A = this chain, B = another copy of it.
Amino acid sequence: MNAAIRAVVRTAHFHGVRTSGIMGGYDGLINGHFRELGPRDVSNIIQRGGTMLRSARSEEFRTPEGRAKAADRLQQAGIDAIVAIGGDGTFTGALKMSEEHGTKVIGLPGTIDNDLAGTDLTIGFDTATNTAVEAIDKIRDTASSHDRLFFIEVMGRDTGFIALRCALAAGAEYVLIPEKLQAIEELSTALYEGSRSKSSSIVIVAEGDEEGGAYTIARKVKERFDHYDTRVTVLGHLQRGGSPSVTDRVLASRMGVAAVEQLIAGVHGVMVGIVNDEVTTTPFHQAIGKRKQINEDLLRVLAILAV
Protein backbone atom coordinates (compact mmCIF):
# COMPACT_ATOMS: atom_id res chain seq x y z
CA MET A 1 0.00 0.00 0.00
CA ASN A 2 2.73 2.44 1.00
CA ALA A 3 4.39 2.04 -2.40
CA ALA A 4 1.12 3.06 -4.04
CA ILE A 5 0.70 6.07 -1.75
CA ARG A 6 4.26 7.13 -2.49
CA ALA A 7 3.66 6.81 -6.22
CA VAL A 8 0.41 8.78 -6.13
CA VAL A 9 1.90 11.65 -4.11
CA ARG A 10 5.07 11.91 -6.18
CA THR A 11 3.35 11.58 -9.55
CA ALA A 12 0.89 14.29 -8.57
CA HIS A 13 3.79 16.50 -7.48
CA PHE A 14 5.58 15.74 -10.75
CA HIS A 15 2.55 16.98 -12.65
CA GLY A 16 2.03 20.00 -10.39
CA VAL A 17 -0.98 18.63 -8.50
CA ARG A 18 -1.29 18.80 -4.70
CA THR A 19 -2.28 15.76 -2.63
CA SER A 20 -3.67 15.05 0.80
CA GLY A 21 -3.82 11.72 2.53
CA ILE A 22 -7.15 10.68 3.99
CA MET A 23 -6.33 9.11 7.35
CA GLY A 24 -8.36 6.06 8.37
CA GLY A 25 -10.28 5.22 5.21
CA TYR A 26 -13.86 6.36 4.54
CA ASP A 27 -14.32 7.16 8.22
CA GLY A 28 -11.48 9.62 7.92
CA LEU A 29 -13.13 11.04 4.84
CA ILE A 30 -16.40 11.63 6.69
CA ASN A 31 -14.57 13.27 9.57
CA GLY A 32 -12.24 15.34 7.41
CA HIS A 33 -9.03 13.72 8.59
CA PHE A 34 -6.89 15.02 5.75
CA ARG A 35 -3.15 15.54 5.84
CA GLU A 36 -1.34 17.34 3.05
CA LEU A 37 1.41 15.14 1.64
CA GLY A 38 4.49 16.26 -0.29
CA PRO A 39 7.17 14.12 -1.97
CA ARG A 40 9.36 14.08 1.19
CA ASP A 41 6.48 12.88 3.38
CA VAL A 42 6.48 9.59 1.51
CA SER A 43 10.26 9.04 1.62
CA ASN A 44 11.49 5.82 3.10
CA ILE A 45 8.10 4.11 3.25
CA ILE A 46 8.24 1.84 0.19
CA GLN A 47 9.75 -0.98 2.25
CA ARG A 48 7.25 -0.83 5.10
CA GLY A 49 4.36 -3.19 5.65
CA GLY A 50 0.90 -1.88 6.49
CA THR A 51 -0.17 1.59 5.42
CA MET A 52 0.92 5.03 6.63
CA LEU A 53 -2.68 6.14 6.19
CA ARG A 54 -4.33 3.98 8.79
CA SER A 55 -7.37 2.15 7.49
CA ALA A 56 -10.70 1.26 9.06
CA ARG A 57 -14.08 -0.10 8.12
CA SER A 58 -16.76 2.55 8.17
CA GLU A 59 -20.35 1.76 9.01
CA GLU A 60 -21.40 5.34 8.55
CA PHE A 61 -20.15 5.43 4.97
CA ARG A 62 -22.65 2.73 4.06
CA THR A 63 -25.45 5.19 4.68
CA PRO A 64 -26.44 7.93 2.20
CA GLU A 65 -26.06 10.45 5.05
CA GLY A 66 -22.47 9.36 5.67
CA ARG A 67 -21.60 9.72 2.01
CA ALA A 68 -23.24 13.15 1.86
CA LYS A 69 -21.07 14.28 4.75
CA ALA A 70 -18.05 12.92 2.95
CA ALA A 71 -18.93 14.84 -0.21
CA ASP A 72 -19.22 18.04 1.84
CA ARG A 73 -15.82 17.46 3.42
CA LEU A 74 -14.24 17.01 0.02
CA GLN A 75 -15.74 20.21 -1.28
CA GLN A 76 -14.69 22.19 1.80
CA ALA A 77 -11.16 20.88 1.51
CA GLY A 78 -11.01 21.64 -2.20
CA ILE A 79 -10.26 18.05 -3.14
CA ASP A 80 -11.15 17.33 -6.78
CA ALA A 81 -10.55 13.61 -7.01
CA ILE A 82 -9.79 10.56 -4.91
CA VAL A 83 -7.47 7.60 -5.42
CA ALA A 84 -9.05 4.74 -3.47
CA ILE A 85 -6.97 1.65 -2.71
CA GLY A 86 -8.86 -1.48 -1.72
CA GLY A 87 -11.17 -4.23 -2.87
CA ASP A 88 -14.85 -4.89 -3.36
CA GLY A 89 -16.05 -2.81 -0.44
CA THR A 90 -13.86 0.17 -1.27
CA PHE A 91 -15.00 0.23 -4.90
CA THR A 92 -18.64 -0.20 -4.00
CA GLY A 93 -18.35 2.89 -1.83
CA ALA A 94 -16.52 4.73 -4.60
CA LEU A 95 -19.23 3.87 -7.09
CA LYS A 96 -21.92 5.21 -4.78
CA MET A 97 -20.01 8.46 -4.15
CA SER A 98 -19.75 8.89 -7.88
CA GLU A 99 -23.42 8.17 -8.55
CA GLU A 100 -24.78 10.22 -5.68
CA HIS A 101 -22.37 13.18 -5.64
CA GLY A 102 -20.43 13.06 -8.88
CA THR A 103 -17.22 12.46 -6.97
CA LYS A 104 -14.30 11.53 -9.20
CA VAL A 105 -12.71 8.38 -7.89
CA ILE A 106 -10.11 6.11 -9.44
CA GLY A 107 -9.38 2.77 -7.82
CA LEU A 108 -6.25 0.71 -7.19
CA PRO A 109 -6.68 -3.01 -6.51
CA GLY A 110 -5.33 -3.37 -2.97
CA THR A 111 -6.26 -6.71 -1.47
CA ILE A 112 -4.19 -9.77 -0.68
CA ASP A 113 -6.90 -12.04 -2.06
CA ASN A 114 -6.25 -11.39 -5.79
CA ASP A 115 -9.95 -11.82 -6.49
CA LEU A 116 -10.58 -8.69 -8.58
CA ALA A 117 -11.26 -8.97 -12.29
CA GLY A 118 -9.39 -6.46 -14.45
CA THR A 119 -5.87 -7.07 -13.18
CA ASP A 120 -3.51 -10.05 -13.20
CA LEU A 121 -2.33 -9.24 -9.70
CA THR A 122 -3.70 -7.21 -6.84
CA ILE A 123 -1.35 -5.23 -4.59
CA GLY A 124 -0.46 -7.40 -1.62
CA PHE A 125 -1.05 -10.83 -3.11
CA ASP A 126 2.58 -11.59 -3.90
CA THR A 127 3.75 -10.44 -0.45
CA ALA A 128 1.03 -12.38 1.34
CA THR A 129 1.81 -15.61 -0.47
CA ASN A 130 5.54 -15.23 0.15
CA THR A 131 4.91 -14.57 3.81
CA ALA A 132 2.61 -17.56 4.08
CA VAL A 133 5.05 -19.85 2.29
CA GLU A 134 7.94 -18.76 4.51
CA ALA A 135 5.80 -19.76 7.48
CA ILE A 136 4.85 -23.07 5.88
CA ASP A 137 8.53 -23.78 5.14
CA LYS A 138 9.23 -23.38 8.85
CA ILE A 139 6.39 -25.67 9.79
CA ARG A 140 7.70 -28.27 7.38
CA ASP A 141 11.15 -28.11 9.00
CA THR A 142 9.49 -29.73 11.98
CA ALA A 143 8.00 -32.52 9.91
CA SER A 144 11.03 -34.67 10.53
CA SER A 145 9.04 -37.08 12.60
CA HIS A 146 7.24 -39.84 10.80
CA ASP A 147 3.57 -39.63 10.01
CA ARG A 148 2.87 -36.01 10.57
CA LEU A 149 -0.09 -34.43 8.81
CA PHE A 150 -0.34 -30.65 8.76
CA PHE A 151 -3.47 -28.67 7.94
CA ILE A 152 -2.54 -25.06 7.31
CA GLU A 153 -5.22 -22.46 6.78
CA VAL A 154 -4.41 -19.42 4.68
CA MET A 155 -6.46 -16.35 3.86
CA GLY A 156 -8.43 -15.62 0.67
CA ARG A 157 -11.97 -14.79 1.76
CA ASP A 158 -14.17 -16.89 -0.51
CA THR A 159 -11.51 -17.55 -3.16
CA GLY A 160 -8.64 -19.98 -3.41
CA PHE A 161 -5.98 -17.87 -5.13
CA ILE A 162 -3.75 -17.60 -2.07
CA ALA A 163 -4.28 -21.23 -1.11
CA LEU A 164 -3.51 -22.66 -4.53
CA ARG A 165 -0.39 -20.57 -5.03
CA CYS A 166 0.86 -21.40 -1.54
CA ALA A 167 0.20 -25.09 -2.07
CA LEU A 168 2.24 -25.12 -5.28
CA ALA A 169 5.09 -23.09 -3.81
CA ALA A 170 5.25 -24.94 -0.51
CA GLY A 171 5.21 -28.32 -2.19
CA ALA A 172 2.01 -29.22 -0.37
CA GLU A 173 0.22 -32.44 -1.15
CA TYR A 174 -3.32 -31.13 -1.35
CA VAL A 175 -5.29 -27.93 -1.39
CA LEU A 176 -8.87 -27.27 -0.43
CA ILE A 177 -10.38 -24.24 -2.14
CA PRO A 178 -13.92 -22.91 -2.41
CA GLU A 179 -13.84 -23.06 -6.22
CA LYS A 180 -13.39 -26.80 -6.21
CA LEU A 181 -15.67 -28.97 -4.18
CA GLN A 182 -13.63 -31.79 -2.77
CA ALA A 183 -15.30 -34.38 -0.67
CA ILE A 184 -13.55 -35.06 2.60
CA GLU A 185 -13.86 -38.67 1.51
CA GLU A 186 -11.67 -38.02 -1.51
CA LEU A 187 -9.04 -36.17 0.52
CA SER A 188 -8.96 -38.94 3.11
CA THR A 189 -8.43 -41.54 0.39
CA ALA A 190 -5.62 -39.51 -1.16
CA LEU A 191 -3.95 -39.10 2.22
CA TYR A 192 -4.31 -42.80 2.84
CA GLU A 193 -2.64 -43.60 -0.48
CA GLY A 194 0.11 -41.09 0.18
CA SER A 195 0.77 -42.42 3.67
CA ARG A 196 2.41 -45.51 2.21
CA SER A 197 5.21 -43.61 0.53
CA LYS A 198 5.53 -40.34 2.45
CA SER A 199 6.62 -39.56 5.96
CA SER A 200 4.51 -36.44 6.25
CA SER A 201 1.94 -34.48 4.30
CA ILE A 202 0.76 -30.91 4.13
CA VAL A 203 -2.76 -29.80 3.23
CA ILE A 204 -3.43 -26.13 2.53
CA VAL A 205 -6.94 -24.95 3.33
CA ALA A 206 -8.47 -21.71 2.05
CA GLU A 207 -10.28 -19.92 4.84
CA GLY A 208 -13.49 -19.77 2.87
CA ASP A 209 -13.66 -23.45 2.02
CA GLU A 210 -17.07 -25.05 2.02
CA GLU A 211 -15.98 -27.89 4.25
CA GLY A 212 -15.15 -25.51 7.06
CA GLY A 213 -11.90 -24.15 8.45
CA ALA A 214 -8.72 -26.13 8.98
CA TYR A 215 -9.74 -27.33 12.46
CA THR A 216 -13.04 -28.73 11.20
CA ILE A 217 -11.48 -30.42 8.19
CA ALA A 218 -8.70 -31.94 10.26
CA ARG A 219 -11.28 -33.41 12.60
CA LYS A 220 -13.35 -34.81 9.74
CA VAL A 221 -10.31 -36.42 8.15
CA LYS A 222 -9.20 -37.89 11.46
CA GLU A 223 -12.60 -39.54 11.85
CA ARG A 224 -12.07 -41.37 8.57
CA PHE A 225 -8.37 -42.09 8.68
CA ASP A 226 -6.60 -41.95 11.99
CA HIS A 227 -3.05 -42.73 11.01
CA TYR A 228 -1.29 -39.42 11.28
CA ASP A 229 -0.19 -37.22 14.14
CA THR A 230 -2.24 -34.22 12.99
CA ARG A 231 -1.39 -30.54 13.53
CA VAL A 232 -3.44 -27.51 12.57
CA THR A 233 -2.13 -23.99 12.00
CA VAL A 234 -4.18 -20.94 11.09
CA LEU A 235 -1.72 -18.41 9.70
CA GLY A 236 -4.10 -15.52 10.22
CA HIS A 237 -3.09 -11.90 10.32
CA LEU A 238 0.61 -12.41 9.87
CA GLN A 239 -0.17 -12.80 6.17
CA ARG A 240 -1.22 -9.16 6.06
CA GLY A 241 2.06 -7.70 7.26
CA GLY A 242 5.71 -7.72 6.41
CA SER A 243 7.92 -5.77 4.06
CA PRO A 244 6.39 -5.89 0.56
CA SER A 245 7.94 -8.05 -2.15
CA VAL A 246 9.60 -6.60 -5.23
CA THR A 247 6.64 -7.57 -7.39
CA ASP A 248 4.24 -5.73 -5.12
CA ARG A 249 6.40 -2.63 -4.89
CA VAL A 250 6.81 -2.40 -8.66
CA LEU A 251 3.13 -3.17 -9.25
CA ALA A 252 1.95 -0.57 -6.75
CA SER A 253 4.37 2.04 -8.11
CA ARG A 254 3.23 1.54 -11.69
CA MET A 255 -0.42 1.58 -10.72
CA GLY A 256 0.00 4.68 -8.57
CA VAL A 257 1.60 6.57 -11.43
CA ALA A 258 -1.12 5.40 -13.81
CA ALA A 259 -3.93 6.38 -11.42
CA VAL A 260 -2.81 9.98 -11.22
CA GLU A 261 -2.12 10.25 -14.95
CA GLN A 262 -5.54 8.79 -15.75
CA LEU A 263 -7.24 11.29 -13.44
CA ILE A 264 -5.34 14.13 -15.07
CA ALA A 265 -6.47 12.78 -18.43
CA GLY A 266 -10.06 12.94 -17.24
CA VAL A 267 -10.61 9.25 -16.55
CA HIS A 268 -12.40 8.16 -13.37
CA GLY A 269 -14.94 5.64 -12.14
CA VAL A 270 -12.53 2.88 -13.02
CA MET A 271 -10.02 0.60 -11.38
CA VAL A 272 -6.45 0.64 -12.71
CA GLY A 273 -5.04 -2.81 -13.40
CA ILE A 274 -2.08 -4.42 -15.10
CA VAL A 275 -2.92 -7.19 -17.56
CA ASN A 276 -0.16 -8.90 -19.53
CA ASP A 277 2.26 -6.23 -18.36
CA GLU A 278 0.12 -3.40 -19.78
CA VAL A 279 -1.76 -0.81 -17.74
CA THR A 280 -5.53 -1.13 -18.18
CA THR A 281 -8.67 0.34 -16.67
CA THR A 282 -11.88 -1.46 -15.75
CA PRO A 283 -15.14 0.25 -14.74
CA PHE A 284 -15.87 -0.27 -11.04
CA HIS A 285 -19.07 -2.21 -11.63
CA GLN A 286 -17.18 -4.74 -13.77
CA ALA A 287 -14.23 -5.04 -11.39
CA ILE A 288 -16.62 -5.80 -8.56
CA GLY A 289 -19.14 -7.91 -10.41
CA LYS A 290 -17.01 -10.24 -12.44
CA ARG A 291 -15.32 -13.07 -10.66
CA LYS A 292 -11.74 -13.95 -11.59
CA GLN A 293 -11.31 -17.63 -12.40
CA ILE A 294 -8.80 -20.02 -10.87
CA ASN A 295 -6.32 -21.31 -13.45
CA GLU A 296 -7.33 -24.96 -13.72
CA ASP A 297 -3.93 -25.89 -15.07
CA LEU A 298 -2.35 -25.01 -11.72
CA LEU A 299 -4.56 -27.58 -10.01
CA ARG A 300 -3.36 -30.17 -12.51
CA VAL A 301 0.29 -29.21 -11.85
CA LEU A 302 -0.28 -29.57 -8.11
CA ALA A 303 -1.81 -33.01 -8.54
CA ILE A 304 1.11 -34.21 -10.69
CA LEU A 305 3.72 -32.89 -8.28
CA ALA A 306 2.06 -34.40 -5.22
CA VAL A 307 3.04 -37.92 -6.27
The residues of A with any CB-CB pair to B shorter than 8 Å are 6-7, 10-11, 13-14, 24, 39-40, 43-44, 46-51, 54-57, 120, 126, 129-131, 133-135, 137-146, 150, 165-166, 168-171, 197-199, 231-234, 236-243, 245-247, 249-250, 253-254, 257, 276-277, 295, 297-298, 301, 304-305, 307
Contact in complex: B146, A241 (CB < 8 Å): no
A54 to B140, CA, bound (A): 12
Q: Which of A47, A51, A276, A307 has the largest count of B CB atoms less than 10 A from its CB?
A: A47
Question: A47-B170, A138-B239, A169-B250 are known contacts; what are 10 more A-B pairs with Cβ within 8 Å?
Answer: A10-B304, A39-B307, A44-B140, A47-B137, A48-B141, A130-B130, A130-B245, A138-B238, A142-B241, A169-B246
Contact in complex: A305, B7 (CB < 8 Å): yes
A156 to chain B, nearest CB (A): 14
A54 to B44, CA, bound (A): 13
Contact with A137, one of B43, B130, B243 (Cβ below 8 angstroms)? B243
Contact in complex: B305, A253 (CB < 8 Å): yes
Copies of this chain assembled into the complex: 4
Contact with A197, one of B7, B40, B46, B238 (Cβ below 8 angstroms)? B40
Contact in complex: B243, A46 (CB < 8 Å): no
A246 to B131, CA, bound (A): 9
A247 to B250, CA, bound (A): 14
